[in-house]
């Protein structure tokens, strides 16, 4: 048997957003690898081994998955959302760099509904015009890089989607980000907090930057800042197609 590695996106939470190609890949897998809560979404069955691992072990997890694929297993590495957006795909390619002997392995990335698309859909269409997507975690980059990106994004008048806005271990970063955004975009700019999108816990709230508080976000939140033209219509928020 020839091994293969598939890096698959499970979407933001609802099984109704898992693509058929991801479902089919999981049905053929011998091994599923991923962060504990994502692997918990996979139904056990005979012939399938589940390998849940901790959050900060991305590179080790990627190496273990490649090792199994090289040994002939059909391995699926699962990510929430899309595997290519702040998720496992980059970690797998990083792990691959050190091992030219693995470069011939069959590897496929299967896209998924990333959190910002599901959050935007639940709120209306706040990403309907040019936008950017920033991971606010400073685990893998210095705060100065985040600040520079926020300021350029504001001056480009991008809508902005923020992943990992706020964790218990570094609650001050998001407060600082909100301060920069208020400074650059003004107090009236709309900002949408989307929590646990597509799950029974989903909660969507749109406020102005003046009303926004850091506590409105946690690690299950995706935050979308509007551009200068973003507005409300009825219960919805959207970015018009024309530049503001």
Q: What residues between 78 and 117 interact with a copy of itself by CB under 8 A?
A: 82-87, 89-94, 96-97, 100, 103-104, 107-114, 117
Q: Which is nearer to a copy of itself, 55 or 215 (CB)?
A: 55
Shortest spacing between CB 82 and a copy of itself, in angstroms: 5
**Among 34-42, 43-51, 147-155, 187-195, the segment contacting a copy of itself (CB under 8 A):** 147-155
- Residue 24 binding a copy of itself, by CB under 8 A: yes
**Among 49-57, 70-78, 205-213, 234-242, the segment contacting a copy of itself (CB under 8 A):** 234-242
CB 198 within 8 A of CB 140: no
37, 171, 179, 240: which one binds a copy of itself (CB under 8 A): 240
28, 45, 49, 141: which one binds a copy of itself (CB under 8 A): 141
1, 43, 140, 168: which one binds a copy of itself (CB under 8 A): 140
Q: Which is nearer to a copy of itself, 46 or 234 (CB)?
A: 234
H, E, C per residue of the chain: CCCEEEEEECECCCHHHCCHHHHHHHHHCCEEEEEHHHHCCCCCCCCCEEEEECCCCHHHHHHHHHHHHHCCCEEEEEECECCCCCCHHHHHHHHHHCCHHHCCCEEEEECCCCHHHHHHHHHEECCCCCEEEEECCCCCCCHHHHHHHHHHHHHCCCEEEEECCCECCECHHHHHHHHHHHHHHCCCCEEEEEECCCCCCCEEEEEECCCCCHHHCCCCEEEEECCCCCEEECCEEECCCCCC
- Residue 190 binding a copy of itself, by CB under 8 A: no
Looking only at residues 50 through 79 of this chain, which bind a copy of itself when binding is defined by CB under 8 A? 58
121, 180, 204, 219: which one binds a copy of itself (CB under 8 A): 121
Looking only at residues 151 through 170 of this chain, which bind a copy of itself when binding is defined by CB under 8 A? 152-153, 155-158
Q: Which is nearer to a copy of itself, 47 or 235 (CB)?
A: 235
Q: Which is nearer to a copy of itself, 43 or 46 (CB)?
A: 43
Rounded to 10°, the helix 143-155/172-185 angle is 30
CA distances from 89 to 24, 28, 111, 228, 230 (A): 19, 20, 10, 33, 32
Shortest spacing between CB 110 and a copy of itself, in angstroms: 6
- Residue 142 binding a copy of itself, by CB under 8 A: yes
């Amino acid at each position: 048997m020839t091994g293969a590695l598939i890096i698959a996106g499970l979407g933001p939470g609802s099984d109704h957003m898992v693509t058929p190609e991801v479902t089919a890949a999981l049905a053929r897998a011998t091994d599923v690898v991923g962060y504990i809560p994502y692997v918990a979404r996979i139904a056990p069955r005979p012939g399938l081994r589940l390998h849940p691992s901790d959050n900060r072990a991305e590179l080790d997890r990627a190496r273990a998955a490649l090792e199994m694929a090289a040994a002939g297993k059909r391995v699926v590495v699962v990510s929430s959302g899309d595997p290519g957006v702040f998720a496992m795909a980059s970690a797998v390619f990083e792990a691959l760099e050190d091992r030219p002997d693995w470069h011939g392995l069959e590897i496929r990335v299967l896209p998924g509904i990333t959190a910002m698309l599901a959050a935007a859909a639940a709120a209306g269409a706040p990403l309907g015009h040019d936008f950017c997507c920033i991971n606010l975690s400073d685990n893998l980059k210095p705060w100065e890089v985040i600040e520079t990106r926020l300021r350029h994004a504001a001056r480009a008048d991008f809508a902005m989607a923020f992943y990992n806005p706020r964790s218990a271990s570094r609650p001050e970063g998001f407060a600082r980000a909100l301060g920069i955004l208020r400074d650059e975009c003004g107090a009236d700019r709309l900002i949408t907090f989307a929590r646990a999108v597509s799950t029974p816990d989903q909660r969507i709230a749109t406020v102005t930057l003046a009303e926004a508080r850091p506590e409105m976000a946690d690690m299950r939140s995706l935050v979308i800042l509007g551009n200068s033209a973003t507005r409300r219509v009825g219960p919805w928020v959207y970015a018009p197609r024309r530049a503001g």
